[in-house]
């Protein structure tokens, strides 16, 4: 059952990424929201929230999240080497896919004069957001293998979703859209 659910999640994510990539390439759909959302967020920033978002964004750095993922895999190695392989493939795979997509798509970052932070490279996909989704997803998966109570598994998956979403929102808040 968990393998089927995992495959369903992967397939759903792939469909979502394909749709979003189509929007970015065609300059329509959700892609047209970059500037209006960026300007709205900039107009409503405050110091405390910006400080929190800077911390969330820093914690969502792809290098930090890759290390966390690998560490989690090693942390559960006592049971089998499978989690280490899953964690390693996730960390390496999301990094490689993000770099590949950025180079192939070459989407420039929107020039937002009111950005709080700067980011280099291309805008799509966001390395922070993609790595956060992959990392927190694989951590929830690995935790689900250890947790026996359904409520605990749901809580872990909910926390993973909140954390991944928070990293993505932090990039928008700081003006590093993409």
- Cα–Cα distance, 78 to 132 (Å, whole number): 25
Map residue 35 onto helix, strand or coil: helix
Question: Does residue 132 lie within any of the structural domains?
Answer: yes
Residues in the chain: 178
Q: Is residue 19 part of a domain?
A: no
The two tokens of residue 125 are: 């996909």
**26 found inside a domain:** no
9 part of a folded domain: no
pLDDT string in tens for the chain (178-residue length): 566 776 787 788 788 888 888 887 788 877 777 778 877 888 888 889 999 999 998 888 888 887 877 777 666 656 677 777 777 788 788 888 888 988 888 887 766 667 777 777 887 888 888 888 888 888 888 887 778 898 998 999 999 999 999 999 998 888 876 5
Q: How many domains is the chain partitioned into structurally? A: 1
- Expressed as residue numbers, the domain containing 151 is 31-174
Residue 137, in any domain of the structure: yes
Q: For residue 5, is the peptide bond before it cis, meaning its omega torsion is within 30 degrees of 0?
A: no
8 A C-beta contact, residue 138 and residue 9: no
User: Tens digits of per-residue pLDDT, 11-57?
Assistant: 887 888 888 888 877 888 777 777 788 778 888 888 899 999 999 98
Q: Is residue 104 part of a domain?
A: yes
Examine residue 121 and state whether it is found in any structural domain, yes or no: yes
Which residue is associated with the tokens 């993922």?
Answer: 69
Residue 94 is assigned to a structural domain of this protein: yes
């Amino acid at each position: 059952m968990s393998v089927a659910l995992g495959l369903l999640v992967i397939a759903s994510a792939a469909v979502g990424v394909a749709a979003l990539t189509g929007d970015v390439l065609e300059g329509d759909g959700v892609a047209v929201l970059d500037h209006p959302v960026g300007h709205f967020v900039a107009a409503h920033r405050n110091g405390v929230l910006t400080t929190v978002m800077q911390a969330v964004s820093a914690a969502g750095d792809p290098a930090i999240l890759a290390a966390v993922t690998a560490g989690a895999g090693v942390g559960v190695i006592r049971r089998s080497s499978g989690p280490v392989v899953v964690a390693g493939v996730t960390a390496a795979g999301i990094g490689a896919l993000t770099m590949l997509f950025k180079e192939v798509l070459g989407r420039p970052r929107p020039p937002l004069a009111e950005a709080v932070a700067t980011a280099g490279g291309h805008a799509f996909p966001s390395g922070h957001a993609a790595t956060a989704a992959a990392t927190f997803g694989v951590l929830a998966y690995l935790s689900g293998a250890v947790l026996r109570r359904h409520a605990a598994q749901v809580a872990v998956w909910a926390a993973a979703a909140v954390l991944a979403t928070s990293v993505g929102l932090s990039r928008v808040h700081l003006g590093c859209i993409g």
